[in-house]
Structure 1
Amino acid sequence: MPLSDIQTRIAAAEAQAGRAPGSVTLIAVSKVQPLERVRAVLDEGQRVFGENKVQEAQGKWPDFRRDYPGIALHLIGPLQSNKARPAMEIADAIHTLDRSKLVTTLARLAQEMGRCPDLFVQVNTGEEPQKAGVLPAEADALIAMARKADLPVVGLMCIPPADADPAPHFAMLRDIAARNGLSGLSMGMSSDFEAAIAAGATHVRVGSAIFGERVAAP
C-alpha cells in the first residue's frame, strides 16, 4: 500500500477521533526490509522510521542519514543492556524501556554521553510471558524510577496480544499514561492503527502496510 494511502487513513482517523491534524506521528517500521524499499519510502518524503535491532540500524541508517537530512530513528525492539550504548548513539527515541536494570544502564550512559534519546516505557498489557515489557501492575514504579534517574520518559508503548481485541489494551496504556502525567502513546500497527488513534495514540508503528511483507532475515 502506498505511503500516501496510510497517511490519508491516519488523517481520517485523526478527524474521526476529533484529534488535531498531524497529532499522530507515523513510524515507518523498516526492520528486515531491503534497502531499495526503504529508499523508495524516503523518496516519498517519510522521515520517521523504526528498527528492531541495533545492529541492523547501525548498518542501514548512517548512509541514509547522509543522503536524507531530517531522519528520526526509533528503536522499537527489545533492548539488551549490552547494546544500550550503540542504541543511544544512533536512536532519537527508544520505545522499549522495560526493566530496572535497563533504567540503571541508560542513566549511567546518559551521564557519560551527555545525552539520551526520548524514552517510552514498554508495558506488557497482555501479561504474555514470551513478550517484553513491564507488567501493568509494576509500570508506575518503573516510570518513577526512570524519572528519579533523570531519564527523559515521554510516554508508553504496548503491543497487544495478536489474537485479542486491541482496544482494551490501548485503553489500559492510555490510563497508565494519564495517571503518570505522560502524553506519549506508542501503540497501533498495520492492522489496528486506526483503533489506536481513536484511543489516543501519538505514535503508530506501521511496517507491512507500507513496505509489503517483511523479507526473512538471513
Structure 2
Amino acid sequence: MTTDDAPQRLAEVRDRIARAERLAKRPAGATTLIAISKTHEAPAIAPLIAAGQRAFGENRVQEAQAKWPALREATPDLELHLVGQLQSNKADDAVALFDAIHSLDRPSLVAALAKAMDRHDRRPACFVQVDIGDEPQKGGVAVAGLPALLAEARAAELPVVGLMCVPPLELEAAPWFALLAKLAEDHGLPGLSMGMSGDYETAVTLGATHVRVGTALFGAR
C-alpha cells in the first residue's frame, strides 16, 4: 500500500461501517472510526487527514508527543485517542495530550488521572478497559472487578463514558463484543470501544460507538 491509496482505503472502511450500521438498524454515523496510527510517521498520516479523517489512536504517550503537536497545529480539529496501556507515571502527559483514554484499568490509574485532570483542567473522556477474555497479559480489569473500579472512577469524578475490550485473538469476536455491550448497559455507560481491522463490522452490528482500525487503513506493518 502507498499513501496515494489512503483516500480509497478510508472510503472503503467508512462504507463498510455504514453498511454494518444499516444492517443493525443503527443511525448513520453512530460509530466513530479511530485510525490507529501507532508506528506510522506524519507522512503516512497526512493523507488520511487530507481525506477527512479526524480521530486517530496511539499506543504510547511518548510516540504521540513526538508527532502530533505539529499535525494538530496544521489541523486543529483532530481528535487523539490513547488506546494502549498507560503507566500511572505517564498520566500527566496523557491528560495534556489526548482527548480520550481507552485503557483505564486499575485504581492507581484512577488516582493518577484524577490528579492530572485537576492539574491541567482538562478532562479527556475515559473508557474502562475490561479483560473480557481473562487474558491478564492484555491489561484490563477483570469482569468481576468492574463494578468496584467504576465506583472508584465515579467517586474520583473521572469522565467515564464507556468500556473497551480486546477479545481473544483466536476466538470468534461476536460473543465477547455482546458481553461488553451487556456490561456497558448494566452500568449505564453509552460508549463501546471495540472492534479492529479484522472484526470492526461485527463490532458495529453489536453496538460499537468507537472502532479502532489500523491495518485496513495503513496496511500491514
Q: Deviations over 1:169-213 (max 9, x none)?
A: 101111111111000000000000010011100000000000111
Unmatched segments (≥5 aa) in structure 1: none
- Give the corresponding residue for 2:152: 145
- Give the corresponding residue for 1:174: 181
Aligned partner of 2:18 among 7, 11, 18:
11
Q: Deviations over 1:30-51 (max 9, x none)?
A: 0001321101111111010000
* 4+ long deviations beyond 3 Å: none
- Give the corresponding residue for 2:114: 107
Q: Is the aligned partner of 1:162 residue 2:172?
A: no
Q: Aligned equivalents of 2:143 and 2:88: distance in 1?
A: 22
Unmatched segments (≥5 aa) in structure 2: 1-7
Q: Is the aligned partner of 1:46 residue 2:28?
A: no
Q: Is the 8 A contact 2:41 2:67 kept in 1?
A: no
Q: Is the 8 A contact 1:140 1:176 kept in 2?
A: no
TM-score, normalization by structure 1 = 0.96
Q: Deviations over 1:128-186 (max 9, x none)?
A: 12111000111111111100110000000000011011111101111111111000000
Q: Is the aligned partner of 1:131 residue 2:131?
A: no
Percentage of pairs with the same residue: 53
Q: Aligned equivalents of 2:136 and 2:145: distance in 1?
A: 15
- Give the corresponding residue for 2:190: 183
> CA offset at residue 114 of structure 1?
1.9
Aligned partner of 1:93 among 86, 100, 109:
100
Q: Aligned equivalents of 2:167 and 2:81: distance in 1?
A: 19
Q: Is the 8 A contact 2:16 2:201 kept in 1?
A: yes
SS in 2 for 1:130: helix
> CA offset at residue 69 of structure 1?
2.4
Q: Aligned equivalents of 1:176 and 1:107: distance in 2?
A: 24
Q: Aligned equivalents of 2:21 and 2:33: distance in 1?
A: 12
User: What is the one-letter code of the residue matched to 2:98?
Assistant: A
Q: Is the 8 A contact 2:35 2:55 kept in 1?
A: yes
